[in-house]
Amino acid sequence: MSSDEADTPRSHNPTKPPAAKKQRVPRVGLACDRCRKRKIKCNGTIGGEKCVYCVQLGSTCEYKHAMQKFQVGYVKALENQILRLNSVLRRLHPDDDFSSEVGASLTEDNWDTEGFINEGDPSSADQAPSLFVSTQTSTAPPPRAQPLVKAEEASDVEGDEAMKLSDLTDEFQHLTLRTYLGPHSSGALLDTALNITFERTGARLSQSDLSRFGRPIFWRFNSWEYLTNRVSLDFPPPDLFRSLVDLYFEHQNLYMPILHRPTFERHLAARVYDTDISFGFLVMQVCANGARYSDDPRVLLPGAGTQSAGWKWFDQVRGHSSMHNGTSRLFDLQSISLATVYLMGCSAIQAAWVWCGHGIRLAQDVGAHKKKTYSAVPNAVDEQFKRAFWVLVSLDKHLSASMARPCATTDENFDLDFPIACDDEYWEHPDLSHAFRQPEGLPSRLDVFVHYLKLYTTVSKGINLIFASPKGRALLGAEDGRWEQPTVADLDSRLNTWTDNVPTHLRWDPGGIDDVSLLQSAHLWSRFHSMQITLHRPFIAPRAGTPKGVTEELGFPSWSICLSAARSTVRIIECIESRFPGRLFPLMHKPVYEAGMMLFLGIWGSKKFGVAPRVEEDLQGIYSCERFLETLETRIHPAGRHRDVIKALLSLVDVPVSSQSGVQKRSLDDYHADGGFPAESTQDSSGTLASLDDWFAGAQYGSMQPSLQHLFGSITDPANGEGAGGADIMNGIPDPLFAPVGSEPYGTEHSLPLQGWDMGNTVPYNFENGSNSIFDA
């Protein structure tokens, strides 16, 4: 077939009678709007019964666009596009004939003859099912699978480029694309087999060529595996609805920007939640989270307290979401992110850890963790996927560290870039070259989230070493007594670099006039100080297998750094309480609780190190923490538990303080003037709290048990009924602040001091490039 024949309609051959035109059978009825969009058969009638598809979705049959005709110009543009596609196809496959798949050349005379028109579903025509693309029939609603990505065919750096997350539009959502597969998956064996076949036989087969051997029943999703039951969502009244959305973006999206507000608002205005159940679930989560900051009594459950705010909307998602079917869309990932944040304020915080891990798995299923699945040019879909994935990663690290559990993913398993530091309103521009450009001189509100992520990634490798089990450290080549000091010094250097790069508007300035910058700065630095405490606490008291000399080198600096971080946190919360009285801050209860606990240890630990305690100042700080938690506990369940523990310990604080009278008092300035580490006190430590070592080892926890039982009742292990000992009464897991030093109290990710101590001037481990690094192997 020549080029001319392909590009122009074939002229009528006078020697041949014209093809007999098929008598077209008029349609009995028109397809409803949804069936027209899905290109499936519709058995509904205008003004009569609903079609099967709309019945399954629980929606009404509408015929608004049934009689709409395309303009002549639009049809002409389609014709020109088809001609260009034919030309490209001929250049790529000059010797192949695709007429069996797309039909013979089309002319004005033969377009309506048999074989050119198919009144049914185009996807059900005489074509073989693809290995990895299956069309949905009208017998079952398609699974909600928005943009999934093609499997890698060779490796992360070679082979065909993975399908971009932004390539698929709503027009392709009736297709179920294969999910992301790693470079060494079993699916990669197919590529190897095809290559060998070509080398041996000369026959070049593609995966689509093999599809003719596939039996449809095994290459399509089973309808019963997907959400088919009718879900009726009960949205808030319009006035409350608008209020909850605004409260969410004002109080929560400010620190953890899961949603792009202009896109979300457009979907709301178009009432996408009426036709897309996944977006409806996302809206429910926004309402649930926004309700935490609302004083409207309608956000509460009837007869329940203020902690039930938002539950009526969160509960509508549980057990009904299509996200549990193994396929995911952008809406699903955003919904899971919001659900995780909401559950972190509920009594069963471990549920948040499970939901977050599930979200990470769904993100990996579509390849959202790989840079190659994103387009080179920024676009709204890509950026929303990146935001959703990074939020899930940050929440997973936070929860895993709090609960001493492993993370669902590690930094080695993803390579995508950080979200673009560009405010929502500057994402879109008529000139694409100006899209995603933050105006020069205007700080981005997304900077706080990006630098929060950088803080984690800066120290993640070293933190993995510090909190690894003895077996894990042995696998990394770390020997007890030789890795502690250089590791701490290296991480301290990395954090100093991080702090130097924090932009001016996020540096802590209690007198700042910009409220948003002050709030974001408080969020960032409170998290930073919390990470300091978690990191240095293990080095205050002797660790199992650590030589005594190392403990003496690190003990006092670590104790001092933790105490300084706690006091800094107190100053932050006192400032924001003064500027924003009664305001609820998401995810702040843990940093405040840890700060209060460290101030207790500052009072009691001064005896061990021979340092003059600042009892009055630290007690005022503890009371500030207690008041801050009192505000949070009205809506955040764990905050109430934290506050109860602090109040219990306040009743005991006079015991260790009164026993300080025989100790030589020293200040931190005295320590620096002496240029050395103070010797441990030789005074008798047989009081109620025997010593700081015993406090960290949990030996004295039993002596306080009667007081705690008096406040909270019996603390028992629900599994065997025995005393929980060091169990965390906040969430039923071992509390790191009461856990034995030799145990593994925390997860993977936490941080270091703003300014480091001289750890003996040792050569630091360089976790990436240095010859002294244990990660070089």
Nearest-10 Cα torsion for 539, 541, 545, 551: 70
Between the alpha carbon of residue 439 and those of residues 376, 387, 423, the distances in Å are 21, 21, 9
Residues 6+ apart with CB under 8 A from 602: 559, 563, 566, 613, 614, 618
Instruction: Note the pTM of the prediction, 2 decimals.
Output: 0.65
Q: What is the mean pLDDT of residues 530-556?
A: 77
Answer for the pair 292, 311: CB distance below 8 angstroms, yes or no.
no
Q: Bigger pLDDT: 227 or 15? A: 227
pLDDT 10s digits, 343-398: 999 988 889 999 999 999 999 988 899 998 888 889 999 999 999 999 999 999 98
Model confidence at 124: pLDDT above 80: no
pLDDT value of residue 728: 39
Q: Please give the mean pLDDT across all residues of the chain.
A: 72
Is residue 731 over pLDDT 60?
A: no
From 525, 530, 513, select the one nearest 572 (Cα to Cα). 525
Confidence of residue 112 (pLDDT cuts 50, 70, 90): low
357 burial class (0-12, 13-18, 19+ CB within 10 angstroms)? buried
The whole-number average pLDDT for the span 215-237 is: 74
28-90: CATH class: few secondary structures
Q: How confident is the model at residue 681, as a pLDDT?
A: 37
- How distant, in Å, are the alpha carbons of 355, 424, 593, 610, 731 from that of 392? 10, 20, 23, 44, 21
Q: Which residue has the higher pLDDT, 31 or 641?
A: 641
* pLDDT value, residue 85: 82
Which one of 44-58, 142-156, 450-464 scores highest in mean pLDDT? 450-464
Q: Is the pLDDT of residue 227 over 80?
A: no
Share of the chain above pLDDT 70, in %: 62
Residue range 44-57: average pLDDT? 80
- Predicted pLDDT at 391: 97
Residue 130 has pLDDT above 50, yes or no: no
- Parse the chain into domains and list their residue ranges: 28-90, 238-466, 467-777
Average pLDDT over residues 594-610: 85
Q: What percent of the chain has pLDDT over 90?
A: 33
Neighbouring CB atoms inside 10 A of 365's CB total 19
